[in-house]
Amino acid sequence: MARIKPQTLLLQSKKKKGPSRVSVPVMILYCIFIGLAVFSLFVTYRHWSRRSVEQTGTGLANFEILNTSKGDIVVELFKDGAPEIVDKFLDLCQKGHFRGMPFHHVIKHYVIQGGDFQGLGAAEDWTSRGKLRGKLVTSPKHEAFMLGTSKSKQDSKKFELFITTAPIPDLNDKIIVFGRVIKGEDVVQEIEEVDTDELYRPKSNILIFDVILKREV
């Protein structure tokens, strides 16, 4: 068997292909692609963050604080469920519409009423309806500590506020629920316990000092 000379082995080893290397242009393309992907994610994040801040600035936050003479009542607003009502309520709050308004009717174990008074039913009608509430099917939106307003005269500049202190399914035809109390239920109950006259008007003033917009509680 013929022996291979060392020079021949050297030439053969030089002819063997080494491991493939990534060319410089391909590496540059990879870097550009990764950079574009990172930049796109950053721009998307900035867009949604800015949009959230802008919405907060225009009053689309989730919480309002009713600062009353009995204490603070924090309410969560149902923006998705009643967008037009929430927008109107927030607009009036920003204009200071409710500042200094009283809770003008208090019906124990039923509802407290504040804001503008548009004469939504006589007191006798309220109590007669209250006697029937145990016989009706209760909607989840009409439990105690729900925030609502009258369905009537929505085109006017007035706005009634109702905070329920018991389930009120019998008022579904008259009240639009647009929020709920998430903190300050004890304040609602304290207002509910005040002395009233025969027409359920509080004998001492219970005022809404202000309504404060708050994004986090």
Residue pair 213/96 in contact (Cβ under 8 Å)? The answer is no
CA–CA gap between residue 30 and residue 86 (Å, rounded): 50
Q: At residue 66, does pLDDT exceed 70?
A: yes
Task: State the first-to-last Cα distance of the chain, in angstroms, to the nearest integer.
Answer: 92
pLDDT in tens, 5-31: 555 555 555 555 555 566 777 778 878
Q: Following DSSP, what letter does each residue of 57-73 receive, concatenated?
A: HTT--SEEEEEETTEEE
Of the candidate CATH numbers 1.20.20.10, 3.30.160.270, 2.40.100.10, 3.30.565.10, the domain formed by 63-214 belongs to 2.40.100.10
Higher pLDDT: 38 or 6? It is 38
Residue with the larger pLDDT of the pair 13 and 73: 73
Predicted pLDDT at 20: 57
- State the average pLDDT over residues 201-214: 90
pLDDT at 33 over 60: yes
Quote the mean pLDDT of the chain. Answer: 75
Q: Are 66 and 208 in contact (CB under 8 A)?
A: yes
Would you tell me how many other CB atoms lie within 10 Å of the CB of residue 201? 15
Tens digits of residue pLDDT in 107-147: 998 889 998 875 544 444 555 554 444 443 444 456 899 99
Instruction: Provide the b/e sequence for 105-127 (b: ≥16 CB within 10 Å).
Output: bbbeebbbbbbbeeebeeeeebe
pLDDT per position as a tens digit, 102-117: 999 999 988 899 988 7
Structure token digits, residue 112? 């407290």
Query: Domain coordinates of the chain in residue numbers?
Result: 22-57, 63-214
pTM: 0.63
Task: Name the residue with higher pLDDT: 86 or 15.
Answer: 86
Residue 55 has pLDDT above 80, yes or no: no
DSSP-assigned states of every residue in 70-129: TEEEEEEE-TTTSHHHHHHHHHHHHTTTTTTEEEEEEETTTEEEEES----S-HHHHHHH
Q: Are 214 and 63 in contact (CB under 8 A)?
A: yes
pLDDT of residue 38: 82
Burial of 77 (0-12, 13-18, 19+ CB in 10 A): buried
More confident call, 119 vs 65 = 65
Q: According to the model, what pLDDT value does residue 48 have? A: 55
